[in-house]
Amino acid sequence: MRTLLYFRIKDLVMAQEVRASLGDISGASKISGPWFAQNGDQPVEGLPLVEKAHTSYREEFAVSGLLIGSVVGAVIVYQFGTPADSATNFLAYVGSSAFGAMIFWWLGGLLGGGIARLSLSQKRSGVAPNEILMIAGCDSASKEVTKQVVHDLGGLSIDEHKDLMPNFRWA
């Protein structure tokens, strides 16, 4: 499960050191980002900017789309299908549920990718003018290593957010 980690970094030099250190970690392919922003959505020179797609509700909407699409597919077969025998009826339900799930998973990902997390703008506004907000996405295995590297270099952890369904939240 992906986790978004939010950190407060003191200055540009420290941000570059953190970025280089996270790139040197074995298993860094499991760490996405880090992305940087200043107060007021100002870009940080020479560092990747936080984009809406990085911290969107894409995964939540895609999982919801899977569930909704499979139900819609089954309802369509129930409403408009003509049962020939039990085997073909079963295949029709399974096929339409899978097809509906794929379509709604894709649509859910598109819709969720356009919605930014409200908490991100609150965290940006809470950062002092001379500080930098850093966001890193990682899996559960590399979460503690990422936190340790940033803390060793002087960064301060603000928040962490698990990015899939059981921990679904709006802010």
Instruction: Find the CATH number of the domain harbouring 122.
Output: 3.30.70.260
Is residue 71 domain-shared with residue 47, that is, in the same domain?
no
- Domain holding 68, by residue range, is 58-113
List pLDDT tens digits, range 105-158: 999 988 887 776 666 655 555 666 777 777 777 777 777 777 777 777 777 667
Is residue 47 domain-shared with residue 63, that is, in the same domain?
no
Domain count, the chain: 2
Is residue 46 domain-shared with residue 65, that is, in the same domain?
no
Is residue 84 domain-shared with residue 104, that is, in the same domain?
yes
Is residue 106 domain-shared with residue 122, that is, in the same domain?
no
List pLDDT tens digits, range 108-119: 988 887 776 666
Residue 76 predicted with pLDDT over 80: yes
Is residue 62 domain-shared with residue 109, that is, in the same domain?
yes
In the chain, what is the straight-line distance between the N-terminal and C-terminal CA atoms, in Å? 19
Is residue 126 domain-shared with residue 145, that is, in the same domain?
yes
